[in-house]
Every structure is written in structure tokens, then in C-alpha cells.
Amino acid sequence: MIEKIVHYLNLDSDLEDYDRIHETITRDVIFKGTNLWILVFAILVASVGLNMNSTAVIIGAMLISPLMGPINGMGYSVATYNFPLLRIAVKNFTFAVGASLLASTAYFAISPVSTAHSELLARTSPTIYDVLIALFGGLAGIVAISSKSKGNVIPGVAIATALMPPLCTAGYGLATAQWNFFFGAFYLFTINTVFIALSSVVISQILKFPIRTLRDEAHKTRVNRWISIVIIITITPSVYFGYGLVQEERFSSNAERFIGAVGLFEGNYLLRSEMQPRRERITLVYAGNALDSLQKERLRLRAREFGLADAEIQVRQGIAFGEMPGAMNEKEQLKSEINRLTFMLRDSNRRADSSEQRSRIGRQLLREIAPLEPRVTACVYAEAPVFARDGAASEKRPLVVFGVQRLPSAAERRKVEEWLRSRLDRDTVLVYWDSAWPR
């Protein structure tokens, strides 16, 4: 079985001739004539696509871009200790990057549209996920170059690793003097470059490409040490940004649930809300009776139930019914009161639906547990916060009470609790067993 797996994973059977691979990589390293013109046109196409916020145009620019050549050349030359080729690859890559930045900066400097659309913004905050995309995309690319059947891998790698858009975004940052755009996008481009080149190094060594120059072991050790240093310097900020992205996503999810839960609060209905995940700030604007300081504090305490204990909750009054007889005419007051009552009715219906849903879950659990634990004769399901002595309340947790004729063993109870956590898709479920209930 293992031999069969190794046979399917073996790359040697489809490996291209080493001299032909060397010739292909060396040819693609050079930037002059056709390659240079194609690069400039690709940069301009990508810049127009970013300016128009057109994904299709950007993908087209990535497909025609020849930037992958010198990057693969750098990785291949390091793996084979071919330092004359490395110098050529670095020289051509530097020239290509300079020409790309010049072309994109010139375009955005004369373009009448200077708005930063979503396609531009997406290239300014690289994370660890961009590292993984560049690494695996680069692996696919160098494997395809090394094989006899190239297929359509190279165009796909060009799209996935996205070398063109970050360079164009960096040019936009230079043209508009927005340095956060420039540094963020150029860092993303650096990530893609380093890890595509690293992929070439790894695959070149795995496939045992012949070393083209004679070097002693000490020199090889220095090269490997420099590779490690470059990787660490490149990857460290992306891990930090990736952690921040995960925290922002978690905050946004908790904030959405919190905002949905406080849409109607003590006779006031939510006019609008605003989330700022990076600052961990939520702004709530209410209409209705004027909110006093105690009510605002209760809103902040409510946020703790949704994992937002450290969030800044700003509560503002948009319209206060008791303070506006002179500011609003009768028609406006009536419209606001109708909106408030409508919101109250919707909230009441939502609570009723939620209560009915919980009762259905209890009935369903009672039916589903019968094969697992036939001694269960009754089931109660609810969701409630857990309060601590310091006054803090956790997020609402599922509470399940099983009525049994005879209490199961500890191992049997643990088995049921594990099943409940999986069934309800919750990390924590409060489970209680009562052999004296129901009577």
C-alpha cells in the first residue's frame, strides 16, 4: 500500500530533462524586448483594472504578466548555487519592479479617478494567509516548470499569487502620497516574491537539480543561513497581521449578535449602529425615551454576554420623544412612534419564535438521545448566561436537564455530553441529570 502511494507521488517519471529546465528558467529571467513591453502593458492593464475596480481586468493582467520568470530564477539559482545566474535574476527582477512602479505611478498620477476601491484596499493588509497562498502557488509553479506536461498550472499560479496588483497598488500609494498603501502593498509583493522563490529552492533541491558551480560547504551554510533570515524577517509581520485579522473577525461576529439582541432596549429602538473592529468600538444610536446613565451602563453590561467585555460601547440618543414637542411636528412624532411600536412588535415576534425554537430543540434532543441513552424519559433545553461573583456574565450557554429513572455511570454521562457538544455545535454545554424527576 505504501509503495503504491509513493509511486503515485513520485515526480521522477514526468520530470523534464535538467538541461531543458535550466534553459527555460534562464530564458524567462531576462527582461528586454518582448518581455519588457509585455510587463509594462500588464502593469497598465492592472492599474486600469484597479482604478475601475474590475476583477476581470485585474485577472487578465495577472495572466499576461511575465514577473514569475526572474523570481523562479532566483530560487533555482540559490538551490543550485549558480551565483552568476542569481546576479542576473536579481538585476532583472529589480529592473522589472522599478519599471512596474514607474508605469503604475505615472498612470495613477494622471488618472482623473483617485478613489481607493475595494480591489485596491484588498492589497494593503497582508496576513499569514498570503504567505500560504504564495508558498503553495509557488510550489505548483516550479513543479509545472519541471514536468514534461506543463498543463495550465502557470496561468493559475499567476492569478493565485497576484504579483501585479500589489505593485500597482504601491504605485497608487506613491502617486497619491498615501504611504500606508505603498508600504502595505509592497510588503504583500515582497511576501509573494520571497515565498515563490522559496518554493523554487525547495522543489529544486527535492528534485536534485545538478549544482552548476563548485562551492565549499561553508559557503553553502552561509547561503542557507541567509535564506532562513530572509524568511523570518518576511513572515513575522504577516503572522501579527493574521492574528489581528482573526481578532477583528471574531469581534465583528460578536458585535453583530450583540447589536441584533439590543435592537429594542427598554422602550428605545435602534436607529443605526456602527462597528470599528480595529478599535473594538461599537456606536449605538437610539430613538425613544431618553436613555439615562444607568440604562447605558446596562447596555454595556449586556455586551459582556457576547464576549465584548473589553469593547468600547458608545450609546447616543438620536430622537428622544420626551424632549421634542417643539422640535418635531405631530406627523413626525406619530411616524417615530409607529416605527418604535413596529420595532417592538418585531422584537416580540422574534422572542416568541426563539422560545418556540428552543422547545423544538428540546423535543428533538429527547427523540435523538433514545438510541444512545434509553433511560432518559424527559428533557429540558434552555439558553442562559452564567453569572460570576464579580458581576460579570458570560455569553449565553446551552442548558440541558435530563430526567432519568436511574442515573447513568460517569462514563455514560461523559459520552452523552460529548454527543451534545457535537450535536449543538457548542464548546460548552451545561448538562444536569435528575433521577427524581419527572414525577
pLDDT in tens, 376-406: 888 888 887 777 766 555 667 888 888 888 8
Q: Start-end ranges of CATH 3.30.300.30 in the chain?
A: 355-434
**Whether this model's pTM surpasses 0.85:** no
Digit-coded pLDDT (tens) for 366-380: 888 887 888 888 888
Neighbours of 145 (CB within 10 A): 22
Digit-coded pLDDT (tens) for 130-175: 777 878 877 877 777 777 665 555 666 666 666 778 888 888 888 8
Q: What is the reported pLDDT for 380?
A: 86
- Is pLDDT of 354 > 60? no
Q: Start-end ranges of CATH 1.20.1080 in the chain?
A: 2-214
- Is pLDDT of 72 > 60? yes
Q: How far apart, in whole angstroms, are the C-alpha atoms of residue 163 and residue 138? A: 12
Match domain 355-434 to its CATH number in 3.90.550.10, 3.40.50.720, 3.30.300.30, 3.40.50.300.
3.30.300.30
What class, spelled out in words, does domain 2-214 have in CATH?
mainly alpha
Q: How far apart, in whole angstroms, are the C-alpha atoms of residue 201 and residue 138? A: 10
- Is pLDDT of 324 > 50? no
Neighbours of 412 (CB within 10 A): 14
